[in-house]
Amino acid sequence: MCSVLGTLVIAAAGLAPGAAAADDAQSKQWYLDAMGAGDIWKISTGKGVKVAVVDTGVNPDTPSLKGQVLVDEVPKVAKYHVTQDYDGHGTSMAEIIAGTGAGGGIKGLAPQAKIIPIRVGLDQLKDQDERAKSLTGPKAIRAAADSDAKIINLSIASEYYDSEEEDAVKYAASKGKLVFAGTGNDGDKGNKPSYPAAYPYAIGVAAIDKNGTVGKFSTYGNLADLAAPGLDIPGWCDTSFTRYCPTQGTSNATAIASASAALIWSAHPDWTANQVLRALIDTAVRKWPKDEPSKYLGYGAVRPRRVLMDKDINPGPANRDPLAAENGTDPDEDITATVTPSTAPSGASAKPTEKTDPASGPTAAAAKDTDSGSGTQTWVIIGAVAAVLVIGGAGFAVLRARRNA
């Protein structure tokens, strides 16, 4: 078994050229308009929902996060330096989810949700003594599961399987949590499976740009369950917290997916995790059959506005897993009723094996959101405008195929 400590990294592909002053960040948040945030906030702002951000720590003193970070609710085991963000990444994810936008900072998609920070020792933490005192991935996920957070945001990734981490994700699911994880940023560099996104009960999130095209770096395969904006998203440049830089990665997409779930759960507090997830899947933007998810974008791009605007939406059974096929589990198994140890061998994922043909699955195209009622531009993830789409310079046939073998 490979210990996750020392192998997990933030699921960001890096900074893009350019930077913006802290009072200019919102002008760069293109995805808020694309997702119809103005209409969304008339119905839900995420109030009453807590999101655990398992990351590099969260600085609660940025203008956008003042009053948003529930330090007192961090489990005792995770208290160590939880507000000392050693990279700036965790603070960026927290703002993308629940920033108030005060002082011109990042406006979160769910601006009245609250953040429970859980600091984990990632590769970016170079101080060995600090890393030794910080939580490992499995312990951090369990701490998040034991908190009052309904949603766990894992904008982190590793190429190494860890049975303890897999068990931690299953434990979180057994506690009724939704666990979102970035698929990783290795799509154009070998496309190695990424954990924790590849574990059962983790919801893998791929990254798309403002045109609805999957990022060439976005790791693909059957670990991709949903997609969300991930390119050219403002985030803190460094730990000085003075400037925002445009960033790329499935980290950003994961945070936006977590915020989307928070919006829905706030509007429907009696729903279970399964019902919130099913609503996200059922309303995701796609033009391929729902039972034939794309290898690149899963069931499509999250669009919480569709859920919130539909007063008659049916969330389906409370205890039926909408991703049972991907998780390789009995769809009628109530994961909240029991926790069983993982039986997956070390070095392998318990998720079903994906198809090896990298050309299968729709990749992207943009189209008008015709049902929005407001002319909002959004994404329809399908190769409807051409027989071949281009990702990272390579042509991929637009085929519809299952991801599972």
- Whether the CB-CB separation of 211 and 361 falls below 8 Å is answered with no
Q: Active site residue: 44, 64, 87, 89, which one?
A: 89
Residues facing 157 on adjacent strands: 9
Whether 291 is catalytic: no
Residue 216 has pLDDT above 80, yes or no: yes
- Whether the CB-CB separation of 187 and 157 falls below 8 Å is answered with no
d(CA 335, CA 320) in angstroms, rounded, equals 9
Closest CA to 210 of 248, 242, 182: 248
Average of pLDDT values for 196-210?
98
Q: Active site residue: 92, 147, 155, 251, which one?
A: 251
Three-state secondary structure call for residue 277: helix
Whether 251 is catalytic: yes
Name which of 72-86, 142-156, 201-215, 350-364 the model is least confident about.
Answer: 350-364
Residue 4 has pLDDT above 50, yes or no: no
More confident: 362 or 308: 308
Quote the CATH superfamily of domain 9-352: Peptidase S8/S53 domain (3.40.50.200)
* pLDDT (tens digit per residue) in 310-355: 999 999 999 999 999 989 888 888 888 654 443 333 333 334 333 2
What is the predicted pLDDT for the residue at 103? 94
Q: What share of the chain is helix, strand, coil (3-state, %, to 5)?
A: 25, 20, 55
Average of pLDDT values for 229-244?
97
Strands in 266-337 per DSSP E: none
What is the predicted pLDDT for the residue at 338? 55
User: Burial of 182 by CB count in 10 Å (0-12 exposed, 13-18 middle, 19+ buried)?
Assistant: buried
What is the predicted pLDDT for the residue at 364? 53
Domain boundaries, the chain: 9-352
Name which of 248-252, 276-280, 352-356 the model is least confident about.
Answer: 352-356
Q: Active site residue: 44, 55, 92, 266, which one?
A: 55
* pLDDT (tens digit per residue) in 112-144: 999 999 999 888 888 888 888 899 999 999 999
Residue 16 has pLDDT above 50, yes or no: yes
pTM: 0.85
Whether 89 is catalytic: yes
* pLDDT (tens digit per residue) in 162-181: 999 999 999 999 999 999 99
Type of residue at 283:
T
Name which of 53-57, 127-131, 268-272, 291-295 the model is least confident about.
Answer: 127-131
Name which of 131-140, 229-238, 291-300, 369-378 the model is least confident about.
Answer: 369-378
